[in-house]
Structure 1
Amino acid sequence: MAAEIFDAEVGRGVDGIAPKKKFGQGPPPYLDEPPYDPGGDGRGEGTRAPVGNVYLAMMLFIGADVMFFAGLIGAFVVFRFGAMDWPPFGQPRLPVAVTGVNTLILLASGFTMWRTWRQLDDWNRRRLVNGLNLTALLGVIFLLVQGYEWMKLIRFGLTMKSSVYGAIFYTLIGCHALHVLGAVIWLLAILVLLKKNYFTAKKHAGIKLAGMYWFLVVALWPVLYALVYLK
């Protein structure tokens, strides 16, 4: 009985105040850690957040898109190296020089997007808007030049129905043009949302995703230009 009373007094401590827990007592340390946040930005103290779901989905989409273009490029390579003459006799030659300059324009848009991407950490809204405007403008110029060249090629007789050469050309290059158009529309939508203060220094995932998509269309074009336009 005396031992039980002594244990009870020790458990209460002096004046009814419970003593501090010794090391090793109480719940495990990991129960006191903050909950797992899959959407974190990797800036937590002592932990590194994994890739967010939206970024993972975007990377999967980019991977699927690369495979799609790889299939189109594979078909083009088969027809090109399997034909006796390429381009076929009687078909107009592609505008190599003008398209080369247009390639530089699209590459410049990739540089402006990269500069804009770097502004996200500092969140300089004015520079961010200017960078997105310039990137979208360069994308529009690229599409206008390409559209003008297509109109000339069509007048010279290169159409989807004129030959396999024309069908593959417009399918491959046209798919890329649609991707650039979609990227430009995405940037314009972001600019509208920026004016409405939709994006903030802590909430701008949509801008990062648009940048990833823009880098994709820019990276694809030099490969297409070298394969399709250059001999």
Structure 2
Amino acid sequence: MTPPSTARVLPFPRKPSAALLRGHHHEPPAPASSSVQAIQLGVLLFIGSEIMLFAGLLAVYTALRFGHVTWPSAQLYLPVKVTWVNTFFLLSSCYTMFQAVAAGRKDQQQRLITLLTVTAALGTLFLGIQGYEWVQLIRDGLTITAGVYGATFYLLIGCHALHVFGAVIWLLVVGQLARQGRFPSSRFVGVEVCAWYWYFVGGLWVLLFALVYLN
């Protein structure tokens, strides 16, 4: 006769309660691409708002210029030849910024840092020359209170200069972070969005130069 089995039958595990599941459930971390897209969208919206700002300023300038019978020629007041050189410096900075982005995508960190530094230096040079121009213009009598022409000139060009100054500060911060190794090719969005804004101020200057200095 076979002796009875002494094996124990294990109880079927009970289904955990919904409360327990909620207590131990963790949302998966958001993918890195989501944060990158959020940063890119935020900067694009910011640039879009800046475009709207300058569109309004340019609309006012155009209405005043073509509605004013005695609007003076820029050749009478503005140092056009010097501003041509200054424009070259700013456009050159857009090129060096483009090369910096290309270097960063290839993970060429030292070249990235060098080109960011050159770009910031060119932007600072642009502001320095523009400041010198303004000193000369004020000495020659073209002040912000010198009629509609002076007011619109300093409003447009001064507003752009403030944006270039802000872009230089942003670029200096990005350059410092690059020196700390914060922008490998896998996490490069910080440099890219800074480049977008730099291209914006460079392209905007071309438009302002054509409208204000070359009329």
TM-score normalised by structure 1 residue count: 0.76
- Which amino acid letter does the alignment assign opposite residue 145 of structure 1? I
Identify the residue that residue 121 of structure 1 maps to in structure 2. Answer: 105
1:169-212: CA deviations, max 9, x gaps?
00100010011111111111112222233333322322111111
Cα distance in structure 2, aligned partners of 1:58 and 1:111? 20
Q: Which of 44, 51, 54 pairs up with 1:66?
A: 51
Percentage identity across aligned positions? 47
Pairing of 1:148-227 with structure 2 (within 5 A): 148-227=132-211
Cα distance in structure 1, aligned partners of 2:81 and 2:178? 37
Cα distance in structure 1, aligned partners of 2:64 and 2:139? 24
Contact 2:104 2:183 in 1 (8 A): no
Of structures 1 and 2, the one with the larger relative CO (CA 8 A, separation 6+) is: 2
Contact 1:92 1:156 in 2 (8 A): no
Contact 2:57 2:156 in 1 (8 A): yes
1:83 aligned onto 2:68 = yes
Report how far residue 50 of structure 1 moved.
10
Runs of 4+ aligned structure 1 residues displaced above 3 Å come to 35-39
Identify the residue that residue 100 of structure 1 maps to in structure 2. Answer: 84
Contact 1:38 1:52 in 2 (8 A): no
Report how far residue 87 of structure 1 moved.
1.8
Contact 2:47 2:200 in 1 (8 A): yes
Contact 1:38 1:51 in 2 (8 A): no
Specify which structure has the higher proportion of helix: 2
Cα distance in structure 1, aligned partners of 2:179 and 2:109? 10
RMSD across aligned positions (CA): 2.0
Unaligned runs of 5+ in 2: 1-27
Cα distance in structure 2, aligned partners of 1:50 and 1:182? 24
- Which amino acid letter does the alignment assign opposite residue 174 of structure 1? G
Unaligned runs of 5+ in 1: 1-34, 41-48
1:139-181: CA deviations, max 9, x gaps?
0111011000000000011111111111110010001001111
Cα distance in structure 2, aligned partners of 1:206 and 1:198? 9
Cα distance in structure 1, aligned partners of 2:101 and 2:142? 39
Contact 1:161 1:167 in 2 (8 A): yes
What is the aligned residue count? Answer: 187
Cα distance in structure 2, aligned partners of 1:39 and 1:229? 45
Cα distance in structure 1, aligned partners of 2:117 and 2:135? 27
